[in-house]
Chains A and B, each alone.
Chain A
């Protein structure tokens, strides 16, 4: 099973709302990622968790708040977003640690977020 599951698939939120995106994997991967993708652009890295600890934050605004409650789950909490934050938000996971498999990353189908 190489599945990364993201919910919800679509989300429309106002600029004053608080919402959360969820991601789950059961591959035993200990590295999990949030990416943002705009139309016709490649994914842009936002956050990386390695062994449930935040290891990379790509200078993402504080209105995006990640959380990794356990090794299978990753959340992205959203608050006071702007219309320009509308995008496809992708979760990914990979093995952590050393070895040939560590670079193999699997993506979920994404949450299409629209901020109105």
Chain B
């Protein structure tokens, strides 16, 4: 079983839709959760960072962490064609904090 599971997609939505991206994980020691956006042939860009549980909002993006279910989500409101990219979740734990575990990435396509 992989440490982090993420649906690879592709996920295709019309412009303006609400997008929900999710990851599940198996290691209850994970405490730090990140969402990255990666455009083709570019490095991952950190979108959202959450420590422990709860919600975090930044503009059109909302990150949620449910540690009891070992489930994290990224919501994108009013999606734009420029949001078309691969979204990677990543996480790590306090006792191995230098080793980040990545999901496989979800490819999102927002159609105009």
| Chain B residues with a Cβ closer than 8 Å to the other chain, count | 27
13 contacts between A and B (CB under 8 A): A33-B98, A42-B88, A42-B102, A88-B43, A100-B52, A102-B32, A103-B34, A103-B100, A104-B34, A104-B49, A105-B100, A107-B36, A107-B46
What does the 1/0 interface line of A95-116 toward B look like (CB < 8 Å)?
0101011111111111010000
The answer to whether A100 and B99 touch across the interface, beta carbons within 8 angstroms, is no
Flag whether A8 is at the interface (Cβ < 8 A).
Answer: no
**Could you say which residues of chain B place their CB within 8 Å of the CB of A102?**
32, 97
When chains A and B are docked, how far (Å) is the Cα of A90 from the Cα of B44? 9
Give the nearest-CB partner of B103 in chain A.
Answer: A42
* Interface contact A103-B99, CB-CB below 8 Å: no
Structural contact, B32 and A103, CB atoms closer than 8 A = yes
> Which B residues, 17 to 60, have Cβ-Cβ distances below 8 Å to chain A?
31-34, 36, 41-46, 49, 51-52
Binary contact readout B48-90 vs A (1 if CB under 8 angstroms, 0 otherwise): 0101100000000000000000000000000000000000101
- The interface of chain B, by Cβ under 8 A from chain A, is 31-34, 36, 41-46, 49, 51-52, 88, 90-92, 94, 97-100, 102-105
Q: Is A11 an interface residue (CB 8 A)?
A: no
Q: In whole angstroms, what is the CA distance A55 to B32 when docked?
A: 19
* Cα distance A4–B44 in the bound complex, in angstroms: 11
Which among B90, B91, B94, B98 is the interface contact of A98 at CB below 8 angstroms?
Answer: B94
CB distance from B85 to the nearest CB of A (A): 13
**Residue total for A at the interface (Cβ-Cβ under 8 A):** 31
Check B94 against A45 for contact (C-beta < 8 Å).
no
Give A90 to B99 CA distance when docked, in angstroms. 15
* Complex alpha-carbon distance, A31 and B43, angstroms: 18
Residues of chain B within 8 A of A4, CB atoms compared:
43
Min CB distance B21 to A, Å, is: 14
Asked whether, in the complex, the Cβ of B46 is within 8 Å of the Cβ of A103, the reply is no
Contacts of B34 in A (CB 8 A): 103-105
